[in-house]
């Protein structure tokens, strides 16, 4: 379950803080990519959740984790 990040108009605050944490971490990983896209979505009005799902789904298809093309729309999560 995702953490509640407040109303849409205020999401820019926790998303920017998360991006700052990821930059401080110093690695370009999935966490950094998601934080960057979420922050850009807040500033520019982009559909960041859908962009992140599409990238995650494309990575799963490329890595052979799934062959389902719906992963490009729905994203991909590994079974726990």
pLDDT given at position 6: 74
Report the candidate in 2, 5, 55 with the shortest Cα–Cα distance to residue 30.
Answer: 55
Provide the Cα torsion 58, 59, 65, 67; round to 10°: 20
Return the SS3 of 6: coil
pLDDT given at position 2: 59
**DSSP characters over 18-77:** HHHHHHHHT--SHHHHHHHHHHHHHHHT--HHHHHHHHHHHHHHHTTS---TTHHHH---
The gap from C-alpha 21 to its chain's centroid, in whole angstroms, comes to 15
pLDDT by residue for the chain (80 residues), tens only, comes to 457 767 878 889 999 999 999 999 999 999 999 999 999 999 999 999 999 999 999 999 999 999 999 999 999 988 77
């Amino acid at each position: 379950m995702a953490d509640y990040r407040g109303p849409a108009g205020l999401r820019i605050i926790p998303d920017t803080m998360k991006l700052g944490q990821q930059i401080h971490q110093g690695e370009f990983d999935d966490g950094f990519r998601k934080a960057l896209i979420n922050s850009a979505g807040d500033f520019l009005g982009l559909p960041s959740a859908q962009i992140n799902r599409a990238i995650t789904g494309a990575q799963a298809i490329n890595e052979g984790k799934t062959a389902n093309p719906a992963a490009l729309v729905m994203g991909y999560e590994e079974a726990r």
